[in-house]
Amino acid sequence: MSEHYNSLLRAIHRTNLVRGTRRISSSRQTKLPRRQEAIFRDALCALNTAHVPYVVTGAFALALHTGIWHPTKDLDIALTHSSTAGALATLRQAGFQTEVLDPVWLGKAYREDFFVDLIFGMSNGVLVVRDSWIERSYPGQVADVDTRILAPEELLVSKLFVARRDRYDGADVVHLLYKLGEQLDWLYVLDLLGEHWQLLLLALTLFAYVYPANTDIIPRAVWTNLTGRLQQTVLEPKPPRVFRGTLIDPDLFKIDVSEWGFEDQLEMFRFSRGGENPRSPVPSGTEP
């Protein structure tokens, strides 16, 4: 597994710790500091003027769909990989410093103490932002700028994979299900997840634990579909050594790959999205 990848995730986590972001859910949206709002406005106006196709995600999308606000120093932008270079160039012209932190999923733009994250996939390489994510977005406003907000289906699916020891979006997922479970396009959600449908069943089980009196918010057909799949999986398990733990947490599941002989799905997915080739020889003096 790439040490660069693990170092990147740890650095992002350390940055969040430095910000002191103890996340407590609230419907009260605190007004952004004036300078932060101005920087976000500059970024969004620059992207709009350049006709870059994008959607706002992260805290602003969660607030739109659930009414829950998490304070943030980041403006999260989702866009396709093909739009990323143009977006970074646009933001550089607007006075931001920019870089691609990970070719699989993340670019960043900086000004002062604030960040614009340009997200074109998931860090594990399982999902990529597609044109349909832009087309299905909702109208909204951020920093007094008319923009587009990521739809709840894509927001839900992307959060299902955020289940590391140091960052778990389970509460956000459960709140999305509580607020929108009856309205979601469930066929589309299942299509986005593909072979990773068990993560949705896991989230629904947590939902049933948190809201035992409200399980009817989720259509019965969804429960039947997923529990039926689970039963079939138990009766007819996949071939030996299929292992997906590193797609969730590459640190806590590292032992499965390094000592127990399982194949690293994370490396294969990341390589398919432009990450390092897991079959390449490790240069002398570097960690495997």
Question: What CATH number is associated with residue 30?
Answer: 3.30.460
Domain that holds residue 49: 1-150
Could you tell me which residues come within 8 angstroms of residue 23 by beta carbon, excluding any fewer than 6 positions away? Answer: 70
Kindly state whether residue 124 falls inside one of the protein's structural domains. yes
In a domain, 6, yes or no: yes
Residue 159: Cβ within 10 Å count: 21
The pLDDT of residue 282: 36
Q: Within a domain: residue 1?
A: yes
Q: Tell me the three state secondary structure of residue 258.
A: helix
| Residue 118, in any domain of the structure | yes
Task: Give the tens place of pLDDT for each residue, 226-242.
Answer: 999 999 989 987 776 77
pTM over 0.85: yes
Residue 280 lies in a domain: no
Reported as a single tens digit per residue, the pLDDT across 75-125 is 999 999 999 999 999 999 999 999 999 999 999 999 998 999 999 999 999
pLDDT of residue 274: 87
- Binned at pLDDT 50, 70 and 90, residue 71 comes out as confident
H helix runs in the chain, sequence order: 3-18, 34-49, 59-66, 81-93, 131-135, 152-160, 170-180, 186-193, 198-210, 220-235, 245-248, 254-258, 265-272
Count: domains in the chain: 1
Instruction: Please check whether residue 205 lies inside any domain of the structure.
Output: no
| 32 found inside a domain | yes
pLDDT tens by residue, 246-262? 999 999 999 999 999 99
146 lies in some domain? yes
